[in-house]
Structure 1
Amino acid sequence: MNPILLRSRRGLTVTAGLALLTAVALTASLTSASGQESLATSSPTGPMELPDEWMTAQRLSDGSTELSTAKYAKARGEANQLAAHTRSVYRNLAERDWSFFGPTNIGGRVVDIAVDPQVEDQVFIAAASGGIWKSSNAGATFTTAWPDSSGQSMGAVAMTSNGVLFAGTGEPQPGGGSITFGGDGIYRSKDRGATWKHVGLKDSHAIARFAIDPSNEDRIFAAATGNLFVPGGERGVYLSEDGGDSWRQVLAAPNDTTGATEVVIDPSNPARMYAAMWDHRREPHQRTYGGPGSSLWRSDNGGQTWQRMTNGLPTDADQGRWGLAVAPSNPQRLYAYVGTALGPFRAFYRSDDGGDTWTQTPVTAGQASQSTFSWWFGKLAVDPKDHNHVFLTGVSLMRSTNGAQSFSSVSGPHADQHVLRWDPKKPNRAYLGNDGGFYRSDNNGASGWVKSTYEPYTQFYTVDVAETDPALRVGGAQDNGCNRGYNGRGGAWNAIGCGDGLQVIIHPENPNIVFGCSQYGSCYRSENAGGTPRQSISTGQTVSDRRNWLTPLQFDPSDPNVMYYAGNIVNRSTDNGRTWKAISPDLTGGGPNDPSGYPWGTVSTIAAAPTDGNKLYVGTDDGRLWWTDDLGQNWNRVDQAQLPGTWVTRVAVHPKDKNIAYATFSGFRSGSDRPHVMVTTDGGRTWTDIGRGLPDAPVNSVVPTADGLLLVGTDVGVYVSGWNGGEWAALGADLPNAAVMYMRYHEPTRQLSVASFGRGIYDLTVPRCPAASTKLPLRAPGVGVVGALASCRAG
């Protein structure tokens, strides 16, 4: 498979820094590494991949220049306060149970693996935004080993020989189809994940790797990558000499945008160790993923002093992320590779004298399988028994048996590799983590890769349920396509096409009719529950100049044969998605102001009134709201002075009144009065903030119920209020702390299903609150309705 085309699951790329290149969309029909069909778009023109800009740009649309751990810590603190208030005042809301629906067989990005040195067949993994997981059967199935209430973003996991476990929070891969969340340092567990204690490096943002001194396991090294957005903080290599109780920096970053991504100890001489440093920074309209700080280092005195290795290695500034590994059977043999600052693979190097000198090997970009984003990988693994047998992470898993003179791809695993480990207790057993989850090989990694059968840490963008049977569900998953869960709670899900899975919806009257979308609006229509044959809804069949990463595709609730699709122009179908006609002008500001940034200027959400098919509301990524009363003959723009100006994540219309609608917004308030939730009661003419009292975090979804409740999903939980807002309560107490990206409410059964980004699909039965349905006048922001939620009872 062409790795450039496979990368299409991430979508378009544009330039960073001073380069101003044009992003070109290519549409292709592919088969992914996992065997599923995909519809995709690709353009390898530079280092800034727009898919990761989608979630990042939403959260920076408030004018911020960074997404800090501190912002999320503050929002989670507010969420905890609201949850505590709910428990004391509205216990019936707080004690609602969230139930995990699935999937268990899809998986998601695994970034690190720790093999238990004492317990047979036991391994621990770090899921990118899903916490730490444990398997006691060699990875066949996993159970959680991390608190649901803690931040779920992970970068590293390691274990001492006597079973002490370390977790490094924050993902060091800076996006790849999605946002990667930061963390708050290092945690330690002395009971194999049953309980955890925070032990340091709170300002590290992301931990990329641990190295434990085999001669003294109280000596633990951590590679701190640093904040992706803000220079400074805790960066470089840190050492604990008391088993993790305290940490001190032993290798400082060359500059304030450089962090450590690798630290390795010579197993035959623990006084000798190596580190990889990476110079990188993400800004609102550009990313710089390389520079003079990217480099390789060696210490010969246990980390007390370090020297940069340069003999045979490049010393210019065009260096991106380095991968580095030592051969356990011959520690004089080192391997390293580096990308360019723009992202493509640059060169592979080998040392046979412990790093004194280096020689470039003949490995080509095609053999390396790095595509345009070498910064997404950055890891090497050497067979513990054969110093010539080395694996290189990339889109495909690449393997060399001749000391990195050449590489060939290994068949079987899902695309995008992140970590490979051998089990010292089992000859020839290797474990692999990639964007598709966890794999095991008992043929030394050369072949025979078997995927885990139970790994419930999928990153979902969307979820839908069948109106005819809410046990039937579909969803779009980051790097794992469109998926169908028609086998009940806990049952197997089936891949039903797509590259990245985005909007996936089920016909309201016929669950065999399913629509699925890849990135940038490459969609299909299936009359076989998402299976083949599929009718393509290509970008050529609809009218638009630009399309959102998650292009909205929706049914008209008053007529299931009517559908809406939008890029920067709204398209309508009256024959259930077979043909389309434009019904609007460009509803955006006209596209990106900066060609090196996210391609602003797309419709991000559409909603038709259930009681009147002529009434539509539309929101855009550049903060605009529109409405029409006559099916697009006339479009009315909401006065921008009424709105926060941030990304409109969702609009929803009142189930009984076409003139009442809700809009939710991304971004943070950042000390301003910027709203997260707004309502109109006059058909869109005027809007009022009703989100006061919610945690200051992006709101991603909103649902008004028919009997008076308003439900919102945020980056830090799900909340409930009356129709007119004002007083908010946490809904349920046991939903894992992963961002809720999308919600789907099934009115007949009161089932609320949510798509979490890292922990799969959950659902809950929404209680009834008779007092909330009382039609009340709007109030001043933050003023609640006494008793509106207190009357909630089980349905």
Structure 2
Amino acid sequence: YKSTDGGRTWTHMGLAETHHIGRIVVHPLDTDIVYVAAVGRLWGPNPERGVFRTMDGGRTWEHVLAIDEHTGAIDLAMDPLNPKTLYAAAYARQRTGWGFNGGNEAGGIFKTVDGGRTWTELTNGLPDGATGRIGLDIYRSDPNVVYAIVEAEEDGGVYRSEDKGGSWTRMSPLNPRPMYFSQIRVDPNDDDRIYVGGVQLHISDDGGRTFRDDGAPGVHLDHHAFWIDPSNSRHLIDGNDGGIWVSRDKAATWEHLNNYPIGQFYHVAVDMQEPYHIFGGMQDNATWGGPSAVRDRQGIANEHWYQMLACDGMFVAVDPSDDETMYT
């Protein structure tokens, strides 16, 4: 989808059969050039996966990196000084009725230096055999330095290259729940300062050799998205299962932007009171209850809602003969 009015309206731009998009990268000098990392269908093979490129703002698309019908692309990183150089993380995943399969020997890191016309797989120093989900980032002040967080059968973890991907060094085995996270970001002004998303937010100050997991004190768990202001690397935005959080002091403290209606409810129920109460089970944000009406002239406010239990709320039910008995 594409918006030309700041997100107020959106137009579908195609690639419907890709089903899942891992990353979108826009050329900084020509915004008609866009690259898309397409994961592909979840429940079976299809050819519409890999890396796609448009040269006309999304009107037409070219399949520039096609590996096979099982292997798509989950991440892209563009060289900040040379937009024709990109790195792509190839990844195979398939859901079945009884489980989830992630990774194969066709996965890995691919690089183009001609805007996507040709690609080379990078292997020197990276894990042999099957790889799973991979996250990528490039050091903005010196694009020779590239980081990858690699899921692999053996020797997975955080990798660093100092020659634009020509060779890699395994810095750390850290890779928390890779199929779920696999997000790595490098401070644009300090190539030793690394952030890795996981249940906790992991931070390294020595180029990935060691990490601490206290990077988000008081912040909700499960860190899936992370942005560093390129003009002020003390300014950070973290997207997690609790919403959006902002730091302006390099992750020392965080502010919750709790004004976005983005919570996910699995199920809603009501009791038999008059006025009745509403209950909902949320994804990783507990079960909540509140009144359908109040006497307050200002209407229903945050303080009228109350939390029951924690973690995933999921389904909720109230005993129709006893409003005090609830199941969740």
* TM-score, length-scaled by structure 2: 0.90
- C-alpha separation in 2, matches of 1:502 and 1:218: 42
From 158, 163, 169, give the equivalent of 1:359. Answer: 169
Letter in 2 for 1:271: K
From 95, 99, 108, give the equivalent of 1:295. Answer: 108
Letter in 1 for 2:13: V
Contact 1:390–1:401 (Cα < 8 Å) also in 2: yes
- Count of residue correspondences: 319
From 143, 152, 166, give the equivalent of 1:331. Answer: 143
Q: Which residue pairs with 2:313 in the alignment? A: 501
- C-alpha separation in 2, matches of 1:423 and 1:490: 37
1:400 corresponds to 2:211: no
Q: Which runs of 5+ in 2 are unaligned?
A: 294-298
Change (3 A) 1:259 1:196: same
From 239, 257, 272, give the equivalent of 1:467. Answer: 272
How far 1:514 moved relative to its partner? 4.8
Letter in 1 for 2:124: N
From 289, 298, 304, give the equivalent of 2:117. Answer: 304
The within-5 A match list for 1:388-537 is 388-409=192-213, 410=215, 411-424=217-230, 428-444=234-250, 446-470=251-275, 472-486=277-291, 491-492=301-302, 493-506=305-318, 508=320, 511=323, 513-517=324-328
- C-alpha separation in 1, matches of 2:77 and 2:268: 41
- C-alpha separation in 2, matches of 1:360 and 1:427: 25
More helix as a share of residues:
1
Contact 2:38–2:73 (Cα < 8 Å) also in 1: yes
Q: Which has the larger radius of gyration?
A: 1
1:190 corresponds to 2:37: no
Change (3 A) 1:426 1:229: same
Letter in 2 for 1:200: G
Letter in 1 for 2:200: S
From 60, 75, 79, give the equivalent of 1:266. Answer: 79
Contact 1:261–1:277 (Cα < 8 Å) also in 2: yes
Contact 1:279–1:292 (Cα < 8 Å) also in 2: no
How far 1:465 moved relative to its partner? 2.2
Letter in 1 for 2:126: L
Letter in 2 for 1:331: P
Contact 1:482–1:516 (Cα < 8 Å) also in 2: no
How far 1:282 moved relative to its partner? 1.4
Q: Which residue pairs with 1:205 in the alignment? A: 19
- C-alpha separation in 1, matches of 2:301 and 2:210: 42
Contact 1:473–1:485 (Cα < 8 Å) also in 2: yes
Q: Which residue pairs with 1:762 in the alignment? A: none
Contact 2:264–2:283 (Cα < 8 Å) also in 1: yes
Letter in 2 for 1:330: D
Other structure's SS at 2:12 match: strand
How far 1:275 moved relative to its partner? 0.6
Change (3 A) 1:469 1:451: farther
Q: Which residue pairs with 1:281 in the alignment? A: 94
The within-5 A match list for 1:76-95 is none
Deviation per CA, 1:487-514, whole angstroms, max 9, x where unpaired? Answer: 8575324332133112334455665x25
Contact 2:284–2:310 (Cα < 8 Å) also in 1: no
Deviation per CA, 1:291-336, whole angstroms, max 9, x where unpaired? Answer: 112200111112111100000001312x211111111122111111
Task: State the identity %.
Answer: 35
Change (3 A) 1:197 1:261: same
Contact 1:227–1:233 (Cα < 8 Å) also in 2: no
1:222 corresponds to 2:28: no
The within-5 A match list for 1:571-650 is none
Q: Which residue pairs with 1:696 in the alignment? A: none
- C-alpha separation in 2, matches of 1:494 and 1:414: 18
- C-alpha separation in 1, matches of 2:300 and 2:2: 31
- C-alpha separation in 1, matches of 2:237 and 2:325: 36
* TM-score, length-scaled by structure 1: 0.38
Letter in 2 for 1:421: W
- C-alpha separation in 2, matches of 1:418 and 1:475: 24
How far 1:240 moved relative to its partner? 0.8
Q: Which residue pairs with 1:249 in the alignment? A: 63
Q: Which runs of 5+ in 1 are unaligned?
A: 1-186, 518-795
Other structure's SS at 2:261 match: coil
Letter in 1 for 2:256: K
- C-alpha separation in 2, matches of 1:239 and 1:413: 37
How far 1:202 moved relative to its partner? 1.4
Contact 2:48–2:69 (Cα < 8 Å) also in 1: no
Deviation per CA, 1:606-655, whole angstroms, max 9, x where unpaired? Answer: xxxxxxxxxxxxxxxxxxxxxxxxxxxxxxxxxxxxxxxxxxxxxxxxxx
How far 1:248 moved relative to its partner? 0.5
Change (3 A) 1:510 1:455: farther
- C-alpha separation in 1, matches of 2:300 and 2:165: 50
Letter in 2 for 1:346: G
Change (3 A) 1:506 1:288: closer
Contact 2:159–2:168 (Cα < 8 Å) also in 1: yes
Q: Which residue pairs with 1:155 in the alignment? A: none
The within-5 A match list for 1:139-154 is none
- C-alpha separation in 1, matches of 2:300 and 2:134: 40
- C-alpha separation in 1, matches of 2:59 and 2:191: 35
CA RMSD of aligned residues (A): 2.2
Change (3 A) 1:351 1:397: same
Other structure's SS at 1:203 match: helix
The within-5 A match list for 1:154-173 is none
Q: Which residue pairs with 1:349 in the alignment? A: 159
Please list every run of at least 4 consecutive aligned residues from structure 1 whose deviation after the TM superposition is greater than 6 angstroms. Answer: none
- C-alpha separation in 1, matches of 2:36 and 2:161: 24
Deviation per CA, 1:410-469, whole angstroms, max 9, x where unpaired? Answer: 22321211111134566622111112211111112x231222222212221222223213
Deviation per CA, 1:678-710, whole angstroms, max 9, x where unpaired? Answer: xxxxxxxxxxxxxxxxxxxxxxxxxxxxxxxxx
How far 1:374 moved relative to its partner? 1.5
Letter in 1 for 2:262: Y
Contact 1:464–1:504 (Cα < 8 Å) also in 2: yes
Contact 1:199–1:245 (Cα < 8 Å) also in 2: yes
Letter in 2 for 1:515: M
